[in-house]
Chains A and B, each alone.
Chain A
Amino acid sequence: DVKVTQSSRYLVKRTGEKVFLECVQDMDHENMFWYRQDPGLGLRLIYFSYDVKMKEKGDIPEGYSVSREKKERFSLILESASTNQTSMYLCASSSETQYFGPGTRLLVL
Protein backbone atom coordinates (compact mmCIF):
# COMPACT_ATOMS: atom_id res chain seq x y z
CA ASP A 1 0.00 0.00 0.00
CA VAL A 2 1.06 3.53 -0.73
CA LYS A 3 1.90 5.44 2.39
CA VAL A 4 2.00 9.20 2.63
CA THR A 5 2.80 10.60 6.05
CA GLN A 6 2.65 14.14 7.35
CA SER A 7 4.77 15.28 10.26
CA SER A 8 1.96 16.66 12.41
CA ARG A 9 -1.78 16.10 12.65
CA TYR A 10 -2.38 19.33 14.57
CA LEU A 11 -0.27 22.46 14.80
CA VAL A 12 -0.79 25.79 16.56
CA LYS A 13 1.39 28.72 15.58
CA ARG A 14 1.46 32.46 16.14
CA THR A 15 1.13 35.14 13.48
CA GLY A 16 4.51 35.91 11.93
CA GLU A 17 6.11 32.57 12.77
CA LYS A 18 7.84 30.51 10.11
CA VAL A 19 6.06 27.18 9.74
CA PHE A 20 7.29 23.97 8.16
CA LEU A 21 4.93 21.18 7.14
CA GLU A 22 6.66 17.97 6.16
CA CYS A 23 5.42 15.19 3.90
CA VAL A 24 7.07 11.85 3.19
CA GLN A 25 6.03 9.13 0.72
CA ASP A 26 7.37 5.62 0.46
CA MET A 27 6.41 4.66 -3.10
CA ASP A 28 9.21 6.31 -5.07
CA HIS A 29 6.68 8.60 -6.76
CA GLU A 30 7.99 11.38 -8.98
CA ASN A 31 5.18 13.79 -8.25
CA MET A 32 4.19 15.38 -4.97
CA PHE A 33 1.56 17.99 -4.14
CA TRP A 34 0.36 20.33 -1.42
CA TYR A 35 -3.30 21.30 -1.14
CA ARG A 36 -5.24 23.28 1.39
CA GLN A 37 -8.80 22.41 2.28
CA ASP A 38 -11.33 24.89 3.58
CA PRO A 39 -15.05 24.39 4.30
CA GLY A 40 -17.16 25.18 1.26
CA LEU A 41 -14.10 25.61 -0.98
CA GLY A 42 -12.94 22.02 -1.41
CA LEU A 43 -9.27 21.38 -2.06
CA ARG A 44 -7.07 23.94 -3.75
CA LEU A 45 -3.61 23.25 -5.13
CA ILE A 46 -0.81 25.31 -3.58
CA TYR A 47 2.37 23.88 -5.12
CA PHE A 48 3.53 20.69 -6.73
CA SER A 49 6.79 19.07 -7.72
CA TYR A 50 7.55 16.58 -10.45
CA ASP A 51 11.19 15.99 -9.55
CA VAL A 52 13.80 16.71 -6.92
CA LYS A 53 14.54 20.43 -6.67
CA MET A 54 11.73 21.19 -9.14
CA LYS A 55 8.58 23.04 -8.16
CA GLU A 56 5.55 24.49 -9.88
CA LYS A 57 2.97 26.95 -8.60
CA GLY A 58 -0.56 25.75 -8.22
CA ASP A 59 -3.69 27.85 -7.98
CA ILE A 60 -2.96 29.61 -4.68
CA PRO A 61 0.82 29.85 -4.09
CA GLU A 62 0.85 33.29 -2.47
CA GLY A 63 2.29 33.23 1.05
CA TYR A 64 3.78 29.76 0.61
CA SER A 65 7.00 28.20 -0.62
CA VAL A 66 8.16 24.60 -0.97
CA SER A 67 11.29 22.54 -0.84
CA ARG A 68 12.10 19.17 -2.35
CA GLU A 69 15.67 18.12 -1.62
CA LYS A 70 14.95 14.37 -1.69
CA LYS A 71 12.53 12.42 -3.83
CA GLU A 72 10.52 11.09 -0.92
CA ARG A 73 10.14 14.37 0.97
CA PHE A 74 8.21 17.53 0.10
CA SER A 75 8.01 20.43 2.52
CA LEU A 76 5.57 23.31 2.60
CA ILE A 77 6.84 26.52 4.17
CA LEU A 78 4.83 29.42 5.47
CA GLU A 79 7.45 32.18 5.64
CA SER A 80 5.38 34.39 7.95
CA ALA A 81 2.18 32.72 9.07
CA SER A 82 -1.03 34.72 8.98
CA THR A 83 -4.48 33.99 10.41
CA ASN A 84 -5.90 33.45 6.91
CA GLN A 85 -3.59 30.48 6.55
CA THR A 86 -5.50 28.61 9.24
CA SER A 87 -6.61 25.53 7.33
CA MET A 88 -6.28 21.80 6.75
CA TYR A 89 -3.20 21.01 4.64
CA LEU A 90 -3.09 17.82 2.62
CA CYS A 91 -0.07 16.32 0.93
CA ALA A 92 -0.32 13.85 -1.95
CA SER A 93 2.04 11.84 -4.10
CA SER A 94 1.48 10.11 -7.42
CA SER A 95 2.69 8.33 -10.43
CA GLU A 96 -0.72 8.50 -12.16
CA THR A 97 -3.21 8.39 -9.27
CA GLN A 98 -2.82 10.73 -6.32
CA TYR A 99 -2.62 9.27 -2.83
CA PHE A 100 -3.15 11.52 0.13
CA GLY A 101 -1.70 11.83 3.60
CA PRO A 102 -3.89 12.22 6.71
CA GLY A 103 -3.61 16.01 6.71
CA THR A 104 -2.27 18.66 9.09
CA ARG A 105 -4.76 20.95 10.75
CA LEU A 106 -2.99 24.28 11.26
CA LEU A 107 -4.29 27.02 13.52
CA VAL A 108 -2.59 30.41 13.32
CA LEU A 109 -3.36 32.68 16.26
Chain B
Amino acid sequence: AQSVTQPDIHITVSEGASLELRCNYSYGATPYLFWYVQSPGQGLQLLLKYFSGDTLVQGIKGFEAEFKRSQSSFNLRKPSVHWSDAAEYFCAVGGYSGGGADGLTFGKGTHLIIQP
Protein backbone atom coordinates (compact mmCIF):
# COMPACT_ATOMS: atom_id res chain seq x y z
CA ALA B 1 0.00 0.00 0.00
CA GLN B 2 1.19 3.49 -0.71
CA SER B 3 1.95 5.90 2.09
CA VAL B 4 3.43 9.33 2.71
CA THR B 5 5.31 10.41 5.81
CA GLN B 6 5.89 13.99 6.81
CA PRO B 7 8.09 13.64 9.89
CA ASP B 8 7.65 17.19 11.16
CA ILE B 9 4.23 18.11 12.52
CA HIS B 10 5.31 21.71 13.25
CA ILE B 11 8.23 23.77 12.00
CA THR B 12 9.13 27.29 13.12
CA VAL B 13 11.31 29.43 10.87
CA SER B 14 12.37 33.05 11.10
CA GLU B 15 11.25 35.34 8.33
CA GLY B 16 13.96 35.52 5.66
CA ALA B 17 15.48 32.19 6.64
CA SER B 18 15.60 29.14 4.40
CA LEU B 19 13.07 26.33 4.67
CA GLU B 20 13.06 22.61 4.03
CA LEU B 21 10.00 20.44 4.62
CA ARG B 22 10.56 16.72 4.51
CA CYS B 23 8.47 14.12 2.73
CA ASN B 24 9.10 10.39 2.37
CA TYR B 25 6.86 8.11 0.36
CA SER B 26 6.26 4.45 -0.21
CA TYR B 27 4.92 3.45 -3.58
CA GLY B 28 5.21 0.28 -5.62
CA ALA B 29 5.66 1.86 -9.04
CA THR B 30 6.79 5.14 -10.51
CA PRO B 31 5.37 7.78 -8.19
CA TYR B 32 3.73 11.01 -9.12
CA LEU B 33 4.43 13.48 -6.33
CA PHE B 34 2.79 16.70 -5.25
CA TRP B 35 3.07 19.44 -2.69
CA TYR B 36 -0.04 21.38 -1.70
CA VAL B 37 -0.45 24.34 0.64
CA GLN B 38 -3.49 25.15 2.73
CA SER B 39 -4.09 28.51 4.39
CA PRO B 40 -6.44 28.54 7.40
CA GLY B 41 -10.03 27.78 6.43
CA GLN B 42 -9.16 27.34 2.77
CA GLY B 43 -8.90 24.53 0.28
CA LEU B 44 -5.63 23.11 -1.02
CA GLN B 45 -3.54 24.96 -3.57
CA LEU B 46 -1.04 23.11 -5.74
CA LEU B 47 2.55 24.31 -5.21
CA LEU B 48 4.33 21.93 -7.54
CA LYS B 49 4.34 18.42 -8.96
CA TYR B 50 6.74 15.80 -10.23
CA PHE B 51 5.71 13.39 -12.95
CA SER B 52 9.01 12.62 -14.72
CA GLY B 53 12.14 14.24 -16.11
CA ASP B 54 14.24 16.72 -14.19
CA THR B 55 14.27 15.72 -10.54
CA LEU B 56 14.38 19.33 -9.36
CA VAL B 57 11.01 20.95 -9.95
CA GLN B 58 10.06 24.56 -9.59
CA GLY B 59 6.72 25.69 -8.28
CA ILE B 60 4.77 28.78 -7.46
CA LYS B 61 5.67 31.31 -4.75
CA GLY B 62 9.38 30.55 -5.04
CA PHE B 63 9.17 26.93 -3.86
CA GLU B 64 11.10 24.03 -5.32
CA ALA B 65 11.29 20.31 -4.56
CA GLU B 66 13.76 17.59 -5.34
CA PHE B 67 12.81 13.99 -6.12
CA LYS B 68 15.35 11.48 -4.83
CA ARG B 69 14.38 7.98 -5.82
CA SER B 70 17.15 6.32 -3.80
CA GLN B 71 15.88 7.97 -0.63
CA SER B 72 12.16 7.83 -1.52
CA SER B 73 12.00 11.50 -0.72
CA PHE B 74 10.47 14.62 -2.19
CA ASN B 75 11.52 17.50 0.06
CA LEU B 76 10.17 21.00 -0.38
CA ARG B 77 12.51 23.99 -0.15
CA LYS B 78 12.41 27.76 -0.24
CA PRO B 79 15.52 29.95 0.07
CA SER B 80 13.86 32.79 1.99
CA VAL B 81 10.45 32.54 3.66
CA HIS B 82 7.94 35.34 3.99
CA TRP B 83 5.33 35.77 6.73
CA SER B 84 2.64 34.90 4.16
CA ASP B 85 4.13 31.40 3.84
CA ALA B 86 2.69 30.45 7.22
CA ALA B 87 0.28 27.63 6.41
CA GLU B 88 -0.20 23.86 6.39
CA TYR B 89 1.80 21.94 3.80
CA PHE B 90 0.83 18.54 2.45
CA CYS B 91 2.87 16.09 0.43
CA ALA B 92 0.95 13.57 -1.67
CA VAL B 93 1.65 10.61 -3.93
CA GLY B 94 -0.50 9.26 -6.77
CA GLY B 95 -0.66 6.54 -9.35
CA TYR B 96 -0.06 6.13 -13.04
CA SER B 97 -2.00 9.19 -14.04
CA GLY B 98 -0.74 11.36 -11.20
CA GLY B 99 -3.65 10.49 -9.00
CA GLY B 100 -5.93 11.81 -11.68
CA ALA B 101 -8.02 8.69 -11.84
CA ASP B 102 -7.41 6.87 -8.61
CA GLY B 103 -6.97 9.43 -5.88
CA LEU B 104 -4.00 10.69 -3.92
CA THR B 105 -2.50 9.52 -0.67
CA PHE B 106 -1.59 12.44 1.56
CA GLY B 107 0.80 12.90 4.42
CA LYS B 108 -0.56 14.26 7.68
CA GLY B 109 0.81 17.70 6.98
CA THR B 110 3.44 20.07 8.37
CA HIS B 111 2.32 23.26 10.07
CA LEU B 112 4.73 26.09 9.23
CA ILE B 113 5.06 28.97 11.67
CA ILE B 114 6.98 32.09 10.68
CA GLN B 115 8.68 34.12 13.40
CA PRO B 116 9.16 37.85 12.75
Q: Which residues of A contact B (CB under 8 A)?
A: 4, 30-31, 33, 35, 40-45, 48, 50, 56, 58, 90, 92, 94-103, 105
Contacts and interface: CB of A to CB of B under 8 A. Distances in A.
The 10 nearest A-B residue pairs measured at CB: A42-B108, A100-B44, A100-B43, A96-B98, A43-B106, A94-B100, A96-B100, A102-B43, A45-B103, A42-B106
B100 A42 contact: no
Contacts of A99: 46
| Interface range for B | 20 to 34
19 contacts: A30-B101, A35-B106, A43-B44, A43-B90, A43-B104, A45-B103, A48-B103, A90-B43, A94-B100, A96-B97, A96-B98, A97-B49, A98-B99, A98-B100, A98-B104, A101-B43, A102-B42, A103-B43, A105-B41
Contacts of A41: 108
A42 B99 CA distance: 16
B31 interface: no
B90 A31 contact: no
For B43, B49, B109, the residue with the greatest tally of chain A CB atoms inside 10 Å of its CB is: B43
Contacts, number: 65
B102 interface: yes
Given A41-B108, A42-B107, A97-B46, A48 B102 contact: yes
Contacts of A58: 103
A101 B44 CA distance: 7
A99 B106 CA distance: 14
Contacts of A92: 44
Contacts of B99: 94, 97-98
Contacts of B97: 96
A96 B42 CA distance: 22
B101 A50 contact: yes
Given A96-B98, A97-B49, A98-B99, A45 B43 contact: no
A76 B107 CA distance: 23
Contacts of B44: 43, 90, 92, 100
